[in-house]
Structure 1
Amino acid sequence: EKGILGVPWLICGLILPSLISLAHPSLRLLGCNHFRGAAVNYSTLLLEDGPGLLYVGAREAIYKLDTSNISDTSISLSLEWAASAEQKRQCLSKGKNNQTECYNHVRFLDRYNDTHMYTCGTHAFRPRCAYIDVARFTFVRFEEGKEKCPYDPTKGYTGFIIDGEMYSASQYEFRNIPDIRRNFPFPNLRTDNSPTSWLLESDFVGSALLRESINSSIGDDDKLYFFFTERNTEPTAYSSQTKVARVARVCKGDIGGQRSLQRKWTSFLKARLVCAIPDYELYFNVLRNIFVVEGSSVHDSVLYGVFGLEWRNVKMSAVCQYSFRDVQTAFDGPYMELQDTKWREYTGTVPEPRPGSCITDQHRALLINSSRDLPDNVLNFTQRHALMSRQIQPVGGRPVLLQRSADYTKIAVKQVVGLDGRVYDMLFIGTDEGWLHRAVKISDRVHIIEELQLFEEKQPINNMVISQKQNRIYVSAASGVVQVPLSSCERYTSCYDCVFARDPFCGWDGRACTTVVFNNRHLHIRLPQSKSFVMHRTRAVMAGDDMLLQCEIRSNLATPHWTLNGQVMLGYGVDFGYRTGTDGLLIIGAQNQQSGHYRCYAVENGVWVPVRSYMVRVQPVPPPASHLSGKQLLSPPPALLPFRPQLQTYRHMEAMYISLVAVLGGLCLVLTVVLLYVSFCARNSPSARKYSQQALSITTATERKRSSHFELKTISSHCNGRTEGRSRAMSRDGEFLQIIPADIQTTPSKEPPPAPPLPMPPPLPASEYANGLSATLPSVLRKMNGNSYVLLRQTDSEMTSPLYHSFTEELNRILEKRKHTQLDIQPDESSV
């Protein structure tokens, strides 16, 4: 999809995306910084905006970069962390891939305390974790990591450290058992793996902490949310829905049960996230990434999720927005229960206090101060009823953005205050091919402002973080990290582009499009009153021919409108004589009344912006005329008549064939009589006998090649820049008939002459072939009426030229390339 304001800009508008692979490797994208170390697969990002540091976890390495310029290698640091050769050998012996899996892929990187960071890696299918001294940027201690990091580098994983507590969710161990864990401090907690498993082949994509204890009137606890896709066991209307998107919730203060659910979550609940287009029964069941935008309160917070289809061969993505108020409503609603291997809504009595809820003042009034004080009936109910019945619908009931040509992988959101005082959500969405879509949410819709190609080679976006301080976004992929500005207002060269881009970062100050700076100075947005520069062209076309007037509308939100001599052109289709499209106006079978002044406008929000202007002249078709031996053909064959679409019927085609066959037969008869007469005179004339000896050698040499085969060809007198003086013909209006003997054996024709091709469009100027192909046409082709071709040949089937067999294909290819010619003496450009 193109950007709202223009062509699909390569990042910072340097060159077209299709040409990026042709650029020199040293060419850097304007306004952006790149980083690529010795490692690959840059998957983990930790941004510390205060000190201006960006930590990057890659394969067997960790990097420390300066956020102001990640390309500055003079201040960047690297920390190697590779698996040993013995560990890699053991990984290979387990049947793992030594090209991808038998390395140490850094999966976790977070701040542990003021002086240290904590990191975990797959370590060639034997996970390890380590502490890093931030000041010296060195490892200080290693420890076992199989309970904190997945073995497989491709498994979904999420985790964070908050208040000295580590939480993670993934498919752990060789059995790939999904789990949500509190790794430290003691007591460690995990999900229950009972027959009513809380998690089923879950693939985790993200997590978040929402502090509900702050200013809580009921003494509520903070809550942890985990987002994932898992195997669906619920009854659905479509059997193809084998997966479902989920959100799970646990309480931060949960420490497990006393007798039931020991060292297990007592507050685990999960609900379904629905992202679908109900009208088309299109369900996006695969959750790929999430981003939580925290509001002034928990209920004001929103969640953006990137979803995909279950069908891997279909590229389509959707972005859905959810309110945490609706999430809370789902967790406060009815439960589901497994009855006879089927999930149904539970209609029985719910015990008190409510299962799955966090400890509040209501619990404390009942002397329940922690999860270990919860009654066994409450814990047993929680164990069997972890699934909620109420589904979480997106805001507006449908996706805010639907993308048919890309698979979205990551999303990041930043809230921006526009000049109108409203708060807008700016969305930065990464694709599976290394593109970044920058979009803005206005009301209930999301508009893509631009697409940026960040990497030369196609590769999925692995991670993204936004720096509030630097006003930049940092994007990582397999080949490196890119630092991208959140906006590039200087890219918009006119007020129309600046305003219609709908970029809340940008505003028109009367002279240029500038970045909005919120201070005492007030920026005014206004539309220019002067007319913008419009490209003007002159075009000419023969009557009855088609012509395309190009007009590229650079905005996806604008629609093209055309006027003819100041009148708006309405209607569409052949009946109206034209068709409109995103790339221009197609005039069909041009007629004289279609001459005039055409203007193309881009109409958006009621504003008409002129884009292109054309002066079109429709030229009448000249009457055809031909001569043969000084005698005018009273009824020229239909193939010589100019083509008119409304006369092309079966009856005229039949008449054309009959006329051509009659002409051919007549010519053959005349030529036979002439040859017999010449032969008789040559045998009885004394002068002929005088030259017979001189011509004997020539006759002997050429006798084998003599033939009764002839071509009737209509060519232009200026076709090759000269006329052939030996041709027996008379010229009229620049055209003549020419009789040319062929060089094949004298064998009577065994097949009737082939039917001529269909009549072709009106003539080109006699000075050249269409598109300048005169030098490349095969010898069996000759011009007729400018750009129509006819082939009349008597020949032996065994000696037919290969070009003759391919004539139809050759002609079709030439005519497919033929463009409408310029008929003005000094036109602006060819009428393509």
Structure 2
Amino acid sequence: MRRSAEMQEARSSALRLLLLICCVCATAGYPFKTPLDLDVIPRVTVLSNGLQGCRRFQSSAVNYSTMLLEADSERLYVGARGAVFALNASDISASSAPTIEWEASSEQKRQCLLKGKDNKTECFNHIRFLQRFNSTHLYMCGTHAFRPLCAYIDEERFVMSSQPEEGRDKCPYGPTTGYTALIIDQQMYTASQYEFRSFPDIRRNSPSPTLKTEDAPTRWLNEADFVGSALVRESLGSSTGDDDKIYFFFTERSQEQTTTYSHSRVARVARVCKGDRGGHLTLQKRWTSFLKARLTCSLPEYDFHFNMLRSMFVMPGNTPQDTLFYGIFGLEWKNVKASAVCRFSLSEVQEAFQGPYMENQDSGSKWKEYTGKIPDPRPGTCITDALRARDMNVSTALPDDVLDFVRRHPLMSQQIQPSDRRPLLFRRTTDYTQMAVYMIQGIDGQTHHVLYMGTDEGWLHKAVEVAGELHIIEELQVFEEQQPVNNVLISTKQMSVYVGSPSGVVQLPLSNCRRYTSCYDCIFARDPHCAWDGAQCVDILAHVDRSTLIQDIQHGNRGCENTQTDVVLRSRTVRVGDDVLLQCELSSNLATSLWTLDGSELQGYGLNSGFRTGTDGLLIIEARQDQSGLYTCYAVENNIKVSIVTYNVTICLDVQPPPPVEPTEDLYSVFTTVPPPTEHASSERPLPPPPAPLLPHSELLSPRNMEAMYLSLITILGGLCVVLTVVLVYVGFCLRVGHRGKYSLRAAAAAYPNSKKSNRNRKQHRNSSHMELKTISSHCNGNGICNGVSKQHNGGAPDGGFLQIVPGEGHPSPNKGPPPPAPPLPPTPQLPSPECDFPNGLSATLPSVLRRMNGNSYVLLRQSDSENTSPSCYSFAEELNKMLEKRKHTLLLPRPDESSV
């Protein structure tokens, strides 16, 4: 039966987890909003490099897990792994701090290894407890490689004043075991699972008599994981002569049987009386005042129940009855990130301990509410004046029936609800680990609670309570590397917050009002420390006269109506058809941007509107001339519109493309020169071409005409090819009639590439100023014969064809400098194919790759592909079409420089 119940509970837990995952997946991408809008977003995000007034302490030690702040002595004591430090509370990064090194011995580490523990984390002396014992000494305890020890510290000399003593009843064995402890009037109260196989226990260790919790017949604690404890002196001002109470906070396995949603683990608060001495016969050396109740923190409308208690901070009030408990709660499933902050009042806790009890008549069943008779005096109460009047001055005088009832009924039936029956804060993307609360009086005379909450990723969130909810003022990246925050302490004297982690300790000011540069920025922050004095945001604690300061914590939008804001003015001139980004950076995560054009709000940002908005600003897509004007970006927060930046945007018309240039000059400046191979390298690979020359300066290189130049390049090349065709026809005609013209085709010399005459002709042409147009066909037949000439006799010409311009007889213009030096001549070409004649069959493969050269210009390079080698001949139009097809796939840089073409 028990196994069947366990299987049923496992199925129920799996089903709940599946439902939660489905809920999270269904809401992914959308803000998880409740009617109370609890999913709070930090207003300002500050990275570690932007922290101001930050001081750090680090040493060779790690795992700074314990901190003790002494305001009177201005010292911050820090316990780490194998060491204790005494830091200057005003500046923890000051000169070398006094240190007590307390490492486990080599023998003790060896024994730890023999127990199967981890020699990288567990087999060290982790300081788990560090508190004041009396006016002259501190008391500390460490795990000491799974053999706990404790020792006294002489505060003045900061040395261990005695030999370490046994600590197995005062300190847990492991560095991560849940643990809390207090020293009250030189008595030590601890709560933990002390040994590996032991049950969790709440103890008073010294002086005698020592007390423990009961484990039979009813176990008072069921797999409890302790997170905190606190003393509340309820005897102060008590009319009944009540005793002081010690409260312990923990999470344990559930025992209740309810009709509502059940959980395997629940959050608890337990209470014992400080003057408890145990029973005389029943509950001898056991607590007679131990009671526990459930703490609830949930969103019932969404069935979100935060059952795991991670941290608890006790906020003392003006009287003990004004004590508040701030708790950080998490979900039961570790793979789902979410946190909630709930606040409980002492009166609510006392009411639960005065309510009905729970009972468990059969050890195999769940607990349910007890409806029988309750003995007198009420079980679990402390000794009061009424009991003293009945000769019951100590707990050992209580009747056995009262003690037996306490033994069997430690659990209360009434659940403790948070203030306002709802969480103060809900965050579904953050796991909070530790918290400290600070009270400050604002300009309005009201007292505000400011919370500093550390996360599991090394961030610190500062929040203020406003109307029962938390407004996160800022989130600070305290540690660059992700690591959990272990401790958070506040010093009102130093006006600092101290944050401890595994890698070190950080000191930060409680506020940094200089971060807010305008009146509205200062007001929107709602920081109780900050106010606007008319010129800047200042700390109110530094001003005695606060009558002229402006602050609005309740609403966060009042007081700056008559102030002026400085607006940044910028000018932008762009071209028609360009995309323009107008940047507008919002410092607040809660603000939204609003854009206006010439004073009118931009309506709609659809696909056809020509505008897009994002986190960077406003994007004008394919700008039109009618979109010129004054663009103003506003930050809208708390229903207030504040101007940030104004752009004077001028959109100009496109410039018409210039007329085509002379073919020879344009080809010479655009095409790459390819050097020929030497005559003796017919069997070797050709030498690589030299670097291409830079383009000459021209108006075509203007950034305004960059896009027009690219679009008109194909048309220009087409026109040039037509001109070249005419030239080739003319040159062919000149060869037939035996006349020498401006351009000459050296085709006859190609038939005798190795003759002396050919060499003399080659030399003659090299020394002349002729401008020659040379084409070499790359079309060969399948037998390796190119136009009747074997490949081995072609002078080592490359397989891919090329088009090259060499200097001829053309005379340079008198307005220009001397022409560039003539490039080396290509190898002697083979005779043209009888199937192709030059006027209709230009078989030169035109260059088709656009490459960026020298960072600011582009040149066309020759491209030799396997597809260019074809056994057939193509017409000029076909060659041009092939070149145009390749140009469609030319890769251009997405945003070339202004001087690029």
Task: Tell me the TM-score normalised to structure 1 length.
Answer: 0.74
Matches within 5 A, 1:322-341: 322-338=344-360, 341=364
User: Could you say if the C-alpha distance between residues 422 and 582 of structure 1 is closer, same or farther in structure 2, counting changes exceeding 3 Å?
Assistant: farther
Q: Counterpart in 2 of 1:123?
A: 144
Equivalent position SS for 2:520: helix
User: Could you say if the C-alpha distance between residues 140 and 777 of structure 1 is closer, same or farther in structure 2, counting changes exceeding 3 Å?
Assistant: farther
Kindly provide the amino acid, as one letter, of the partner of residue 556 in structure 1.
Answer: N
Q: Counterpart in 2 of 1:271?
A: 293
1:309 Cα offset (Å): 3.1
Instruction: Indicate if the aligned counterparts of 1:146 and 1:172 stay in contact, CA closer than 8 A.
Output: yes
Q: Counterpart in 2 of 1:600?
A: 633
Correspondent of 1:36 among 46, 58, 69: 58
Question: Structure 1: any 5+ residue segments left out of the alignment?
Answer: 17-28, 631-662, 710-721, 727-738, 745-767, 782-791, 799-803, 824-832
Equivalent position SS for 1:390: coil
C-alpha distance in 1 between matches for 2:891 and 2:360 = 71
1:121 Cα offset (Å): 0.9
Kindly provide the amino acid, as one letter, of the partner of residue 187 in structure 1.
Answer: P
Kindly provide the amino acid, as one letter, of the partner of residue 515 in structure 1.
Answer: D
Q: Counterpart in 2 of 1:585?
A: 618
C-alpha distance in 1 between matches for 2:856 and 2:428 = 44
Is 1:508 the equivalent of 2:536? no
Correspondent of 2:845 among 742, 757, 777: 742
Equivalent position SS for 2:67: strand
User: Could you say if the C-alpha distance between residues 229 and 706 of structure 1 is closer, same or farther in structure 2, counting changes exceeding 3 Å?
Assistant: same
Equivalent position SS for 1:267: coil
C-alpha distance in 2 between matches for 1:584 and 1:337 = 64
1:51-110 superposed Cα distances (whole Å, 9 cap, x missing partner)? 222222222222223323333336x42222222221121112111122221111111111
C-alpha distance in 2 between matches for 1:450 and 1:684 = 89
Q: Counterpart in 2 of 1:90?
A: 111
1:109-145 superposed Cα distances (whole Å, 9 cap, x missing partner)? 1122223222111111100111223333332333210
1:27-50 superposed Cα distances (whole Å, 9 cap, x missing partner)? xx7534333344332221122212
Instruction: Indicate if the aligned counterparts of 1:272 and 1:392 stay in contact, CA closer than 8 A.
Output: yes
Bigger mean CA offset, 452-461 vs 283-292: 452-461
Equivalent position SS for 1:86: helix
1:308 Cα offset (Å): 2.8
Correspondent of 2:564 among 515, 526, 531: 531
1:702-724 superposed Cα distances (whole Å, 9 cap, x missing partner)? 87736699xxxxxxxxxxxx9xx
Q: Counterpart in 2 of 1:133?
A: 154
C-alpha distance in 1 between matches for 2:509 and 2:385 = 47
Kindly provide the amino acid, as one letter, of the partner of residue 276 in structure 2.
Answer: D
Is 1:294 the equivalent of 2:316? yes
Q: Counterpart in 1 of 2:748?
A: 692
Correspondent of 1:705 among 794, 799, 804: 799
Correspondent of 2:374 among 339, 346, 351: 351
- Report the count of equivalent residues: 713
Equivalent position SS for 2:85: strand
C-alpha distance in 1 between matches for 2:75 and 2:464 = 28
1:291 Cα offset (Å): 0.8
Is 1:442 the equivalent of 2:545? no
Instruction: Indicate if the aligned counterparts of 1:2 and 1:555 stay in contact, CA closer than 8 A.
Output: no
1:317 Cα offset (Å): 2.8
User: Could you say if the C-alpha distance between residues 681 and 771 of structure 1 is closer, same or farther in structure 2, counting changes exceeding 3 Å?
Assistant: closer
C-alpha distance in 1 between matches for 2:547 and 2:436 = 28
Is 1:562 the equivalent of 2:586? no
Bigger mean CA offset, 84-93 vs 445-454: 445-454
User: Could you say if the C-alpha distance between residues 594 and 137 of structure 1 is closer, same or farther in structure 2, counting changes exceeding 3 Å?
Assistant: same
C-alpha distance in 1 between matches for 2:543 and 2:525 = 23
Q: Counterpart in 1 of 2:183?
A: 161
Equivalent position SS for 2:356: coil
Correspondent of 2:72 among 50, 57, 69: 50
Larger RCO: 1 or 2 (CA < 8 Å, sep 6+): 1
C-alpha distance in 2 between matches for 1:675 and 1:231 = 97
Is 1:420 the equivalent of 2:441? no
1:282 Cα offset (Å): 3.1
Kindly provide the amino acid, as one letter, of the partner of residue 640 in structure 2.
Answer: V
Instruction: Indicate if the aligned counterparts of 1:9 and 1:450 stay in contact, CA closer than 8 A.
Output: no
Question: Structure 2: any 5+ residue segments left out of the alignment?
Answer: 1-38, 551-559, 664-714, 754-773, 777-793, 804-818, 824-841, 872-883
1:7 Cα offset (Å): 5.2
User: Could you say if the C-alpha distance between residues 3 and 317 of structure 1 is closer, same or farther in structure 2, counting changes exceeding 3 Å?
Assistant: closer
Q: Counterpart in 1 of 2:648?
A: 615
Kindly provide the amino acid, as one letter, of the partner of residue 215 in structure 2.
Answer: N
User: Could you say if the C-alpha distance between residues 182 and 793 of structure 1 is closer, same or farther in structure 2, counting changes exceeding 3 Å?
Assistant: same
Bigger mean CA offset, 533-542 vs 128-137: 533-542
Is 1:482 the equivalent of 2:506? yes
User: Could you say if the C-alpha distance between residues 704 and 511 of structure 1 is closer, same or farther in structure 2, counting changes exceeding 3 Å?
Assistant: closer
Q: Counterpart in 1 of 2:19?
A: none
Instruction: Indicate if the aligned counterparts of 2:309 and 2:328 stay in contact, CA closer than 8 A.
Output: yes
Q: Counterpart in 2 of 1:112?
A: 133
1:474 Cα offset (Å): 2.3
Instruction: Indicate if the aligned counterparts of 2:178 and 2:225 stay in contact, CA closer than 8 A.
Output: yes
C-alpha distance in 1 between matches for 2:41 and 2:113 = 47
Is 1:215 the equivalent of 2:237? yes
Q: Counterpart in 2 of 1:402?
A: 426
1:560-615 superposed Cα distances (whole Å, 9 cap, x missing partner)? 22222212345554476545444423445655554432211123344332111123
C-alpha distance in 2 between matches for 1:561 and 1:742 = 56
Q: Counterpart in 1 of 2:699?
A: none
Higher Cα Rg, which structure: 2
Bigger mean CA offset, 157-166 vs 501-510: 501-510
C-alpha distance in 1 between matches for 2:291 and 2:40 = 42
Matches within 5 A, 1:70-81: 70-73=92-95, 76-81=97-102
1:741 Cα offset (Å): 4.2
Task: Tell me the TM-score normalised to structure 2 length.
Answer: 0.69
Kindly provide the amino acid, as one letter, of the partner of residue 458 in structure 1.
Answer: Q
